[in-house]
Structure 1
Amino acid sequence: MKEERGKMEGGVKLDKWGYEVRTSSEACISSINAFYDQFLGYGRDRCVILEAAAHDKDCVLANILAAHLLNFSDPSRAPSFLEAAKANLEQATRYEKLVFDAVSYLGSKDRDDDVAVELHLKVLKEFPRDLASLKRAQVLCFYMGQPDLFLSLIRQVLPENEGDNYVYGMLSFALLEVGQMRDAEKAAKRGLEINKEDVWAQHALCHVFQYECKFKEAVQFMEGCASSWNSCLSFMLTHNWWHVALCYLEGNAPTQRVLELYDHHIWKELERADAAGEVYLNAVGLLLRLHVHGELDVLGDRLEILAGCLSDQANWNIEWHLDVMTVWALAKTGKFSKAEDLLNELKYRISRMGTKKQQSMQKGMQLAEALYAYGRGNDRQGLELLDSDFDACNYKIIGASDEQLEVFNQVWYTMLLNAGETMKAIEVIEKQIKKREGVPFMWRLLEKAYRLANRPEAGKANEKARALESAYF
């Protein structure tokens, strides 16, 4: 196939990937291509796909992509676009029909995620350059807690996309989520060589730096990229700043610097009319980290204000990960009945899932209940709700990366210490430090555990913590 964008072929045009789309409208195909870039680049202007449907009301691809977008932003409008796509499906190209099958299934009430992935795999087997379908597959695998599945998929299509920056950002994220940090770094840097403003590749590289405790390097890199985030979706903009704030926190920078980032780059974003509810994920995630680090006194009224917003049920059921942390924020600020309402809502949601999904989401429910106990100061109950060999990395099913999940490990360590399970705390903290030796906070936790156990190693842990605390910022 000659890959010439927008070439006319008797009512068929070629999209950005070089695949056939049934339309006679130049403006329609141009808007579809613009949507691809917005979708893959986490841009704010994804609604450009609605323009594609307006330019050609009969275009199946434009309509099904518009319906998918509206399912999240304005669900009442989605059905009309879905019906328009269905009405013209017989005249659609093979490519459009496969995309329609994959995307329309995502809105099914009884959706099986394995089937959803298989439908996207079917698209990519025939049309491997469709990186929008690849990105949807990545999101599916992320919420299934299966980065290895996506890594396998992306490796299948990589040979057809070696000149595209977007594929390397996705590859890097999959690699780091399965612990292949060296390869993840190489992939992210390759993507940035092609396009230094690729937000997802930037994000992936920061993950690598952060994991390796290169906090100063991570901050310098990300702050140098920040000007390219202004056109990003609210979630992506604030998520990248969340990473910066976390690097400052883990690198023992002054807490005030972390709070400034919260105020000016996370909380302030919620003032925008187009801010997404997912922004709360970054807000509460950062405040939970600060709390675990013993910084609750410096938060002022930030947690109380945030919990007030999270009391609004309009901010529930956006992300399971967000709901888990919302339960903690509500409990911590004394809004127990609201926290219990949310827990009951989560139980109801699970009851409506298929048997397979119900079983996998039980871990998410246990974590939410443990965070409720932790918020109420009932550490013993929190521990009883979690496995004795708890590892937050086994809870990817809530839709969180390893870096996002790490705070739940820290909550667990704290509950162990507070509940008098000192020897167990020493065991698991030592194990974690072997993975990441450069986090001052972890050495402080270990020092506390040693002192509670009257262990002489407390002095050495103190020395290590002091050395690291002065090493970064």
Structure 2
Amino acid sequence: MTHTSTDAVRHYEKALEHLLFFRDEVTTEARAAVRASPHSVMANVLTAYLGLLGTEEKDAAEARTSFDAFRQGAPLTGVTPRERMHLAAASSWLDGDIHGSGRILGEISVVHPRDALALAVGHQIDFFTGSATLLRDRVGGALSAWDEDDPHFGLLLGMYAFGLEEAGHYSRSEQVGLAAVERNARDVWGIHAVVHAYEMQGRFTDGIRYLDDRAGDWTDGNYLKVHNWWHYALYVLETGRTDQVLAVYDDAVHHEGSAGVAMELLDAASLLWRLHLAGIDTGGRWAALADAWAGREDGAYYVFNDIHAVMAYVGAGRTPEAERLIRDREAWIRSTRPEVSNVAMTAAVGLPVSRALLAYGRQRYDEAVDLLLPLRYRLHAFGGSHAQRDAVQRTVVEAALRAGRHDVARTLLSERTALRPVSPYNWAPGRGSPTTWATRPGRPPTVAGRGNRRRRSPADERPRRTRRRHREVRGAFGVRGRRQARSMSDTLTSERFEVRRARCTTRRGRCTRSRCRWCSGSRPEWASPGRSRCRCGPAGGTRRRCRCTRCGCTWWSRTRTRWASPSRSRCRHGPAGGTRRRCRCTRCGHTWWRRTRTRSASRRRSRSRRGRAAGTRPPRRCSHCGRTW
């Protein structure tokens, strides 16, 4: 580090450490490094980066002024090539070319893969520009050059985990993110990556549990805590507890003591917009949030912030202010040179999305759909993560429902359910909409009568609200979707029980003796509702579901013991009918049903080496890969 004293190096290393951990002290240490060595290249470059990473127009203007003063007065003789590249990257970003700055930082990472500053700043640039591939590969390309014993290696894994999640590798992202947090418990970016992985898989109960268990590591001492609280509120929103969502909003996301920075305000706008789409009354929160955005008086600096400001104005019913912001950005585009990255981002995505949000607020749903549909696969161009951009994706769904464009809504919901089949939002699209799937034109509502009543099974012992979602989904996808809807309702029921596990793990059962129903207060997660006895005692027993491989019929078999398997009971057709067992290949994962006649009469059965007491082991063969065992 040229022109840098020992004291300045110490402050610089502390500032870099705070930056990787997202600590509030990073700015203090960076300024201390500049004071200790005013002509230090890397100290001034780090200060310039910090002024840009917050996406605040005023901070960026101050950083540009101080950086220009440094470049005019500092002697640049003897500066290393890497420092010159950092100077070029910072200058490019300060001039508005954020993509050019990211490319220069990428070149630094190729030549110097252990440059933590280049990797961290480049990683954030990829996030701001919505480049999922670079989020993954910029850090992934440097991992092999790092020693696993390096104290910063775990923080690098946290960045890589987030890149994996944005690129769609959710299981791998979870694995790497957990390993990163295991190395550094207060790695809030690693925690953030795991939370994103759970979000994209619809595992909201796992996300709530994970954030609760790690609450002491992310809730204070960093400037990512509000964003992680936002993720927590999204998880709670999936469970349907909107009162707790609003409590999280008031306590942690936005309140009178909030700093009013853009990173926090956009999280607040995104959360309230989701509630607005669901038709949930948020009281006076929209007005307070719109006042906070209006008080900033931001110019055209970062389109992602502008879109969330429009959300706040539309949600508060202040459409003239939203129109004024859109007109201002249109004029700015015409008067600004195209080399500025925000020009293309605003023109291509920002303005159409803002107009669509305004049209939605004016209940011109057809117009909103027409504006957003062509942008669905280009929304990443204005930055942010998949979870953040999902607010716009949900707007398309709700607008299509309200506009009566059911073919479009069906296609969008089919895409969503294929990706996140356990998300309750995807299976209750009519919430808050004047037109629901069950009563849409061309599909008369089902009339329940004596002739079409069916026998209720234990799967129907689900909360009334979940059964209503079942009916909505069945109306949406017709007869072909009934089995999928029933399976989804069962999944939602299990998720709901899992959410309430800390309070009570009450489970439902049915007695085969007197057909009474009861709740067993069994605490362990593995306890099955069919493995608890009712008040009728041991003679009552339980019921299990069986399937015949001959005729395909299903029935409830009575069993007295825990170990009895449903596949060891016969159907009404006798031994010739047989039962079916589920097999899985441990090599390729292929699964299939294997037919067996009785417990002991199979020709392919053979005794295990442990004799009769150990039971029998059926030889199995995978029809997919041919392996036998």
Q: Name the residue aligned to 1:372.
A: 358
Contact 1:22–1:91 (8 Å) recurs in 2? yes
1:152 corresponds in structure 2 to 137
Q: Which residue of 2 aligns with 1:468?
A: 492
1:195 and 1:169 map into 2 onto residues whose CA distance is: 9
Matched with 1:443 is: 427
1:417-440 Cα distance to aligned partner (Å, 9 max, x none):
111112221222122111111111
CA apart distance, 1:188? 0.8
User: Of 122, 128, 131, which residue of structure 2 is paired with 1:143?
Assistant: 128
Counterpart mapping for 1:97-136 below 5 A = 97-109=84-96, 111=97, 113-136=98-121
Secondary structure, aligned partner of 1:189 = helix
Q: Does structure 2 retain, via aligned residues, the 8 Å contact 1:328–1:374? A: no
Contact 2:154 2:183 in 1 (8 A): yes
Q: 1:141 to 1:220 in 2, by over 3 A?
A: same
The alpha-carbon deviation at position 78 of structure 1 amounts to 4.4
Does the alignment pair 1:338 with 2:318?
no
Which of 232, 235, 253 is the aligned partner of 1:247? 235
Q: Is the 8 A contact 2:159 2:189 kept in 1?
A: yes
Report the alpha carbon displacement of residue 458 of structure 1 after superposing the two structures with TM: 2.3
Give yes or no for the alignment of 1:458 onto 2:457.
no
Say if 2:395 is the partner of 1:411. Answer: yes
Match of 2:180 among 182, 191, 195: 191
Could you say if the C-alpha distance between residues 64 and 24 of structure 1 is closer, same or farther in structure 2, counting changes exceeding 3 Å?
closer
Contact 1:138 1:150 in 2 (8 A): yes
Structure richer in helix, relative to its length: 1
The offset of 1:319, in angstroms, is 4.0
- d(CA) in 1 for partners of 2:392 and 2:67? 41
Task: Note if contact 1:416-1:424 (Cα within 8 Å) is conserved in structure 2.
Answer: yes
What SS does the corresponding residue of 1:354 show, helix, strand or coil? Answer: coil
Aligned mate of 1:322, from 305, 310, 330: 305
Q: CA deviation at 1:400?
A: 1.6
Within the alignment, does 1:53 sit opposite 2:34 as a pair?
A: yes
Residue of 259, 262, 271 corresponding to 1:277: 262
Which of 195, 213, 220 matches 1:206?
A: 195
Report the equivalent of 1:231: 221
CA 1:75–1:325: 2 relative to 1, 3 Å: closer
Using the TM superposition, give the Cα deviation of residue 165 of structure 1 relative to its aligned residue in structure 2, in angstroms.
1.4
Q: What is the CA–CA distance in structure 1 between the aligned matches of 2:358 and 2:323, rounded to whole Å?
A: 8
- CA distance, structure 1, for counterparts of residue 426 and residue 489 of structure 2: 8
Local SS of the residue matching 1:22? coil
Instruction: Please tell me the residue identity of whatever aligns with 2:275.
Output: L
Kindly report the root-mean-square deviation, in angstroms, between the aligned alpha carbons of the 2 structures: 2.5
State the shift of 1:349 in Å.
Answer: 3.6
Closer/same/farther in 2, CA of residues 420 and 275 from structure 1, 3 Å limit: closer
Per the TM alignment, residue 462 of structure 1 is displaced from its structure 2 partner at its CA by 8.4
Separation in structure 2 between the aligned mates of residue 129 and residue 102 of structure 1, nearest angstrom:
17
Q: Please name the residue that 2:250 is paired with.
A: 263
| Gapped regions of structure 2 (runs ≥ 5) | 447-473, 477-481, 500-629
1:35 aligns with 2:15: yes
Q: Identify unmatched segments of 5+ residues in structure 1.
A: 1-20
Work out whether residues 158 and 176 of structure 2, in 8 Å CA contact, stay in contact via their aligned partners in 1.
yes
Alpha-carbon separation, structure 1, partners of 2:60 and 2:257: 20
Q: Which amino acid aligns with 1:261?
A: V
TM-score, normalised to structure 1, is 0.86
Q: Which amino acid aligns with 1:59?
A: S
Q: 1:53–1:63: 8 Å Cα contact kept in structure 2?
A: yes
Render the CA deviation track for 1:243-300: whole Å, top value 9, x for unaligned: 0000010122x211111110111113x625x5523210111111011111221x2x11
- Hey, what does 1:13 align to over in structure 2? none
Aligned letter for 1:147?
A
SS class of match (2:214)? helix
**Distance (Å, rounded) in 2 between the aligned partners of 1:356 and 1:82:** 18
Q: 1:317 deviation in Å?
A: 4.3
CA distance in 2, matches of 1:147, 1:463: 33
Q: Deviations over 1:446-471 (max 9, x none)?
A: 69324314276229558845861634
1:239 CA displacement: 0.5
Task: Give the secondary-structure state (helix, strand or coil) at the position aligned to 2:428.
Answer: helix
Contact 2:129 2:384 in 1 (8 A): no
Other structure's SS at 2:119 match: helix
Are the aligned partners of 2:21 and 2:186 in contact in 1 as well (CA < 8 Å)? no
Gap change, CA 1:353 and 1:386, over 3 Å in 2: farther
- Give the AA of the match of 1:42: F
Secondary structure in 2 matching 1:424:
helix
Q: Which has the larger radius of gyration?
A: 2
Distance 1:29 1:465 in 2: 59
Higher relative contact order, chain-length normalized (CA < 8 Å, sep 6+): 1
In 2: Cα distance, 1:380 partner to 1:420 partner:
9
Rate the CA distance shift 1:147–1:463 in 2: closer, same or farther, 3 A: closer
Which letter does structure 2 place at the counterpart of 1:108?
A: D
- Count of paired positions: 442
| Contact kept in structure 2, 1:319 and 1:399, CA below 8 Å | no
| C-alpha contact 2:4 2:40 (8 A) present in aligned 1 | no
Identity among equivalent positions (%) equals 22
- Is contact 1:417-1:425 (8 Å) kept? yes
> What secondary structure sits across from 1:88 in the alignment?
coil
CA distance in structure 1 between the partners assigned to 2:363 and 2:424 by the alignment = 25
Quick one: which amino acid aligns to residue 124 of structure 1? Answer: S
Distance 1:119 1:309 in 2: 36
Q: Indicate if the aligned counterparts of 1:143 and 1:396 stay in contact, CA closer than 8 A.
A: no
Counterparts of 2:332 and 2:18 in 1: how far apart (Å)?
Answer: 31
After superposition, where does 1:88-99 map in structure 2 within 5 Å? 88-99=75-86
TM-score, length of structure 2 as denominator length: 0.66
The C-alpha deviation readout for 1:404-427, integer Å capped at 9, x for no partner, is 111212111111111111222122
* Local SS of the residue matching 2:414: helix
Q: Distance in 1 between matches of 2:330 and 2:101?
A: 24
